[in-house]
Structure 1
């Protein structure tokens, strides 16, 4: 097994300020042990000649050209606004200022 003990799990829980019951500690001890064992297995396979991958399929970002197109005028954009201040929407304040 991985060597993860219930005391280690309880210590980690206290560091994270998580209150765990004895049953939860026992369950997490088993779960964390299995995780550590799985990581060990992956480390055995991950040799320097195997390239690291973050995704099984190669991904590329697809960007479109940034093209300027006609959009709404200020008057059109503010035509349905209940209140405005020049070229801006006027909204009620959400913070009280002293």
Structure 2
């Protein structure tokens, strides 16, 4: 865990102010936990992978969000290399978009 954070957001603390650095560390910890949860949901080698691999395989995926008939559809690449390597299909099911009252 610490190696992922030291190689990532802790490599450069952005400010000389304690309060700003404290907020940066909190945001980095939340992002790290969300990335680990996504890796666990993806399963396979992603459950124990380092942060750089998870960002490369799960986060940096080119996709297009379309809304035909008002329903969001996520179009993933046709020949995505990690598409069939043990990823759970429920991880890629579209999440309905929240509609805020007008």
TM-score bracket for the superposition, by shorter chain length: 0.3 to 0.5
Q: TM-score, normalised by structure 2?
A: 0.35
Higher helix residue share: 2
Q: Which has the larger radius of gyration?
A: 1
Q: TM-score, normalised by structure 1?
A: 0.37
